[in-house]
Structure 1
Amino acid sequence: MILHFNNTTLEVQPNDSSYRYRSLMAKPQLVLKFSLPRYVEIPVGAYCEYMGETYYLNAPQNIKKQGTRNIEYTLNMGTLQDNMALYKMRNSVDHRLKWSMNAKPHEFLAEIVANLNERDGSGVWSVGTCIDAKEKTIEFNHTNIDAALSQLAETFETEWEIVGTTIHLHKVEYFKADPLPLSYGKGNGFMPGVGRTTPSNELPIKRLYVQGGDRNIDRSKYNNAPNLLLPKSQSIGYDGTYFSDEVGYDATKGHTYTSDADGYYIERTDVVSDAVKEDSLDCSSHYPSRIGKVTSVIAVKPAKNFYDFIDNTIPAALNINDYIIEGETPTIIFQTGMLSGEKEFEFKYKHSERRFELVPQEIDGQTMPNATFIPKAWVYDGSGHVVEEGDTYAIFGIMLPDSYICDNTNKEGASWDMMREAVKHLWENENQKFTFTGTLQSLYAKRNWVNIGGKLKVGGYIHFSDTQ
């Protein structure tokens, strides 16, 4: 192993107690233990290359003097991922440390990458694959970036993975269709001591109750229901990746899920389940909404904070004034940009112009909108292609048309979005879960490394079998 520091190199021979540690949603570590016949100061920042990755010494070395010519070293080394624990998660626009953001997963991930590149250099970090999900709100309060990434994964009930300097937000799975076969016994992979445990609190779910959000729900027009309901008495298939109304759905692997007549819960209905447990899922982030675009901004009287914006993507049939819930004051919340977060603006709407007149608000000690905190318009070229992305917004205090709430014909609307999330949750939890533990035989690994080495990675599937 060659260590690099101070424009020089040092070759060391790590002993057998050295190791590399990798785990799901954890920073990789390389622990080097070796002895030298003389004392050498290995400074913080020293690095080495191992298995295609660069590891850095981020803390002073640990040493133990066994004799004048026998000095033992322990180096705890990490990758660039360690920097995430050193940096604070700031709003990339105004650099606040205490702030909130309502966005989709990929927008949060882009914000994390922007924070890292601001410190480590432009283009060092990048956004990888990312799940798609409905907007949710995350609050940051002097949060470190590594904690922000974990918070993001927890909020959207998924996992994160970093390959090199590319950050992915998805379930970490590899070789699902071609798992590595392992079993107990000589030449089969596992050493004695293979075990199976059953988590006591993870019984399979039979019935999943779902409760949606209460925003944009007019009880007087929604059968007196205070929250968004599931589509009533509707079914959909899911194969673990695709739904039955999507290209790629595999009916041979798919399960069928059906909602009850009142829209309160779902169950699997293509088989008779032995499970008896009921569970519930909080889907308060699901409610009828339309995410609009700011297509132009008009500075009416900047000195008095009067700014309007136009959204020419609003359909002719959607006159916002016709859908205001009685007794409520409709507001706009910007989903992106300088005005995003928990800031709410009252407005007046002129449908003939698709124009919103924002009412100025006192927020964080200043009147908004203003010359700094102002909506940003989308920019298009002559062919209609996006040149520069602008801001998006949502309106609250309105009861949108049925197509935004529940369209059973096309399986669209907020109710169907909520049902899809519920189906994914039930798919993951409808069968009994077990935890298998085992130690791989070192001789087996050495003899078969060419065939199995590539599959022994975090997230790799293993097909475990046993005759008993």
Structure 2
Amino acid sequence: MKITRKGTQVADVFAGAASYTLEEINGARIAYLEFAALEPVELTVNDAIEYEGETYYIRHREDVTKEETSLGFTYRVKFYHEMYRLHDVVAFMYKEPDFRKNMNKYNGTARQVLDIVVRSMNRVHPGWSLADCIETKAATFDLKDKTCAEVVSDLVAHYDSEFYVDGRAIYFGRRELQGSGLTYRQGSNGGFRSVTLSAVDETPPITRLYAYGSDKNMTGGEYLQLPGGKKFLEKNTEKYGIVEYVKQFDSIYPHGEFKVTARVDAFTLQASGIDFDLTAQLIDGVEPVVTFQDGGLAGYDLNIVKGTWDAKKKQFRLAKNEQEEALKVPGDIHFAVGDTFTLTGIKMPKAYVDKAAEELRVAAQKWLDGKCENQMRLAVTCDEVLFAQEGRRVVCGEMLYVTDRLLAGSRKIRVTSVKKYIENDGETPYRYELVLSDFLDGNRFMQDVRDLKDESKRLKARQNELERYARRQWRDVKETQEEIKKDFSDKFKESINPVTVETMQLIVGHEQLQFVFVNSRTQPQVVVSLYPQIAGGKVRLNAAGLYLKHMTMGIKTLSSARDAKAYRYWAMPNYTSPMLDKDKVYRLYARVPVGGEAGSFVVSDTKREMTSEAGFYHLLMGYIGREVDGNRSWGRTYGFTEVLPGQITTELIQDPNARLVIDLVNGRITGPVHITAGSAGYDNLSDKPDLSGFQTKADFKIEADKIHGEVGQINTKLGGTDEKLNTLKTWTEGTVQGIMTWQDSFRNDIYALKTAGFITKAEGNMLYASAELADGTKIASYITQSPTAINMISRNINIDAVATFGDFKEDNAQKLAAVNRRVGNAESAISQQNQAINEAKNGVVDLNRVRYGNRTIIDHGKIITSLIDTDNLKVREAASIGKFTIDNNFNFLGMDGINRYVYISPKGHIKLHENQYEAELRPGRFNILYGMFSVDYDHFYGDSDWHSYLRVKVQNLPHKNHIAAMSGSHNFHRLVFDDETGYMGWE
């Protein structure tokens, strides 16, 4: 395999057996290469390899590992696919970066956003293209300071889709390919050597889905429902029973896309496609909003100026976007004829509602189809022998038909990961490891980077939220005080301003404002803290799914256990206000009907009485302060606080900057809390964890001191031991030197008997003899005797007498016999092995499977290799070479599908076939079948002349006029035949 650097080869290596490529759907795509080299190979970032038409490159220096061995160097290198270059290029909306404010939002379809990605990539790495993309609705994407990889990842998340890169071509959409039609299973010829259940989606199958859409452009506080009044969709209930789930598809709502048909001026447009009276569709207290889908104002939300709708001309005027600071919108950038926009903040006619309901049904059914089965993931090792024999290949996204007990039968399941081991010299890979899965684990291509950035964004958003929505400085307190004086002067007496207040009870709040937000009309109920989000000059409330519960309205008696049904409830929606004036203080009201059950929100810069609007209550939620340094304060007015001697009843306690917030309703403390020494509260917890098995810092200190002391003792002992060893060493060296001196003094007495028998009582009876014969052979013997044994040590023991072994030696005799049997068996086995080796030289080796490296496999009579080099090759029965086979009758057949083949018979004929055309060659005959042309030598059936003739048959000839109609000149002749020579000619 060649490794290149800027197109120049730097090394040509032989890939080791562990080298592979890995491709995952929405995940990693890498090549891992192991190789050995005699000399060092210097590799660096951007060095690349090509394998199976794809380029992989080194992305990080730490991806190269070099290890020195006795034979040279071993390398392990990780290469990344070209798709990872998406991480290295910034996505700019235009050809050149535009650093003006609010120029980073782009409204468009997935295809349009990917066009931006492709243009940005070609700025740095030419050759990128968009190969294929699903059709999607337009959406607004934030491209601010994002790489192309992050933009693509945003598309994947927004449209719940997939992407992959082939070469430098981008594909966007679910990656699903129909398989080869083969059935895979574990076992012989099944294609799989092992199948392991690696993961199961713990979520049970959903069989009943309650689906609803957004409340945008709906009336009466309702959400978009399924068509025909249906509340749910079902699938597989007979298989798994009823398992319910509720899901909101908040991106689906009644809307229409309209085109600008005339531009009156920079602010006024006409849209003849609006087929309803806009005035009749307005919602009280809500301003209609135009959102442009394309053109110069793509992504901008612009209000319609009240009273400018002309039903006859289909014309209205746009309000200026006060949020934009760098540009006048409209003005510096503007709309044009042909631009597309949508309308929100109105109640759409029934036809649009019905269309949206059907869109909701389709989306809900698709979601349910993907959730109504048990979802699992299988890890598979493929049969390399079968894959090599049949040339099988598997790719990511392929739907394989698999039979396995883990799947409870047979069904199709998608390949979501392919690991292929690399073969050398262009050999087709045949060693596969697959992952078959019904689900994906998110977008692993971006997961690590996304986790870090999302966490940073969450912390930043939390900080901004605390600063913007909850900060209460003295200025804000005084500002709220002045507004309360104006609004509640008729309900409270004049305010007082004493130096101190001494009283028994302090109540903060008003009876009419005793309401909370809960998540249910029935028990159990959870009180939910609802805070307005103030950003971009607008107020937003995320109240969908919450109910306003009034605690005093309609309540006439006192009770300690009141039924939840006794209270008044109103379902509340999400809310986005119109643009707020920076220099005004606003009031946020909950606007709820007297007789209805669905409320809304409204902001006002003037006071509204509770019953100032007929048929509605206006419940004051709080004050939104003037904007200072880009921030507005929020002062809540609903609820109450009671202060009694030794007791405070309230919902929320916070410091002036809202860094530490204690939510008493939900039992939550947010912010830094420092608990100092002296607190014994932990010991009073009944559900505290058992930490008895863990040691404290003091315990570790004690253990450390013990270890230190014991180590010191050991060192002391080792020091004494070392001194004794040195003394022993000195004594031993002296003793050995003395022995050597003593030995040298007797070197000339080689024929004398140096020692002859001595007996000591200390070791029983001991006889020791040593001598040296005249020929220089040294002999020695050592005999000891004890009451239980006589031990003899000698090089040779010669017994010239009768020896008898008593019963007490029976056990040793049996052991000796067993040893002799084992020796005999071993000799027999060695003899058999030698015989087998000798027979193998000219005979047969009986082995079931032999593997030579990674290139040749011999398995039960099958040989898998890349080259067979032999002088002769005899095949007695069937043979197969690629798509050509020889059967047992020696017929030669080459097939490319059922409609293309060549057939050669040993009986002497050849047949060629392609689709509807067929030709046959036999001795004395050549025939193109199906009546077009044939030549043979035969007699005519039915003719009394029995002689054979050369017969030429031509059918379906063109008429002379057809030839004459061709361009150019023509010269026609008659066909003649010479009976003497047999030749044909023309005249």
TM range (shorter): 0.7 to 0.9
Tell me whether 1:441 sits opposite 2:383 in the alignment. yes
Equivalent position to 2:225, from 214, 225, 229: 229
Matches within 5 A, 1:380-395: 391-395=339-343
Instruction: Output the CA distance in 2 between the equivalents of 1:66 and 1:286.
Output: 62
Of 246, 270, 274, the match for 1:310: 270
- Tell me which moved more, 109-118 or 14-23: 109-118
CA distance in 2, matches of 1:355, 1:117: 43
Q: Give the SS at the match of 2:364.
A: helix
What residue in structure 2 maps to residue 34 of structure 1? 35
Following superposition, the deviation at residue 430 of structure 1 comes to: 1.6
Secondary structure of 1:362's counterpart equals coil
Q: Residue 162 of structure 1: which of 162, 165, 170 is its match?
A: 165
Name the structure 1 match of 2:287.
Answer: 329
Question: Residue 369 of structure 1 corresponds to which residue in structure 2?
Answer: 329
Q: Percent identity?
A: 20
Unmatched segments (≥5 aa) in structure 1: 220-224, 234-259, 301-305, 379-390, 407-412
Say yes or no: does 1:126 pair with 2:130. yes
Mapped partners of 1:76, 1:137: distance in 2? 37
Q: Secondary structure, in 3 states, of the residue corresponding to 2:287?
A: coil
2:120 aligns with 115
Q: 1:200 to 1:15 in 2, by over 3 A?
A: closer
Equivalent AA in structure 2 for residue 165 of structure 1: R
Deviation of residue 427 (structure 1)? 1.4
Give the CA deviation at 1:68. 9.0
Equivalent runs, 1:37-56 vs 2, <5 Å: 37-56=38-57
- Quote the offset at 1:291 in angstroms: 1.2
**How many equivalent residue pairs?**
399
Take 2:269 and 2:56, find their aligned partners in 1: how far apart are those partners? 50
State how far apart, in whole Å, the 1-side matches of 2:315 and 2:161 are.
Answer: 39
> 1:120 Cα shift?
2.9
1:101-250 matches, within 5 Å, as 101-121=106-126, 124-130=128-134, 132-140=135-143, 142-175=145-178, 178-192=180-194, 194-196=195-197, 199=200, 201-219=202-220, 225-233=221-229
TM-score (structure 1 length as normaliser): 0.76
Q: Quote how far apart the aligned CAs of 1:174 are.
A: 1.0
Alpha carbons of structure 1 residues 190 and 65: separation in structure 2 relative to 1, 3 Å: closer
Return the letter of the residue paired with 2:352.
Answer: Y
Is the 1:209–1:278 contact (alpha carbons within 8 Å) kept by the matching residues of 2?
yes
**Cα distance in 1 for residues equivalent to 2:303 and 2:113:** 23
Please give the secondary structure, in 1, of the residue aligned with 2:365: helix
Kept after mapping to 2: 8 A contact 1:88/1:145 = yes
Contact 1:361 1:367 in 2 (8 A): no
**Structure whose residues are more often helix by fraction:** 2
| Structure 1 match to 2:74 | 72
Look up the equivalent residue of 2:335 and give its one-letter code.
P
1:417 shift after superposition:
0.5
1:402 aligns with 2:346: no
Pick closer, same or farther for the CA change 1:274–1:13 going to 2, 3 Å.
Answer: closer
Q: Distance in 1 between matches of 2:213 and 2:87?
A: 35
Contact in 2 for aligned 1:113/1:127 (Cα 8 Å): no
Contact 2:199–2:376, Cα closer than 8 Å, also in 1: yes
- Partner letter of residue 45 of structure 1? N
Quick check: which has more Rg, 1 or 2?
Answer: 2
| Structure with more relative contact order (C-alpha pairs < 8 Å, separation 6 or more) | 1
Q: How far did 1:136 drift? A: 4.3
Of residues 389, 412, 422 in structure 1, which corresponds to 2:364?
422
TM superposition shift of 1:172: 1.2
SS at match of 1:429: coil
Deviations 1:179-198 (A, max 9, x none): 44211112222224x23467
The one-letter code sitting in structure 2 at the alignment partner of 1:309 is L
Q: Which residue does 1:275 correspond to in 2?
A: 241
Task: Encode CA deviations 1:352-398: one digit per residue, 9 max, x unaligned.
Answer: 433332221222423532554222433xxxxxxxxxxxx32111122
Q: Is the 8 A contact 1:37 1:68 kept in 2?
A: no
How far the C-alpha of 1:6 sits from its partner, in A, is: 5.0
Check whether the contact 2:22–2:29 (CA below 8 A) recurs between aligned residues.
Answer: yes
* 2:317 is the alignment partner of 1:360: no
Cα RMSD of the aligned pairs, angstroms, is 2.9
The equivalent residue for 2:676 is none
Partner of 1:254: none
Contact 1:205 1:426 in 2 (8 A): yes
The 1:67/1:133 distance shift into structure 2, 3 A limit, reads closer
For 1:278 and 1:100, the matched residues in 2 are separated by: 38
Check 1:8–1:120 CA distance in 2 against 1; reply closer, same or farther (3 A cut): closer
* Distance of aligned partners of 1:179 and 1:205 in 2 relative to their CA distance in 1, 3 Å threshold: farther
By how many angstroms is 1:283 displaced? 0.6
Per the alignment, in what secondary structure is the counterpart of residue 177 of structure 2? coil
Contact 2:289 2:301 in 1 (8 A): no
Give per-residue Cα distances to partners, 1:13-42, cap 9 Å, x unaligned.
121121111111124211222222223333
Q: Name 1:248's counterpart in structure 2.
A: none
Paired with 2:404 and 2:326, the residues of 1 have a C-alpha distance of 68
Please identify runs of 4+ aligned residues in structure 1 that moved more than 6 A.
none
* 1:67–1:367 Cα change, 3 Å: closer
Distance (Å, rounded) in 2 between the aligned partners of 1:294 and 1:116: 33
Report the secondary structure of 1:399's partner residue: coil
**Residue of structure 1 equivalent to 2:232:** 265
TM superposition score normalised by structure 2: 0.38
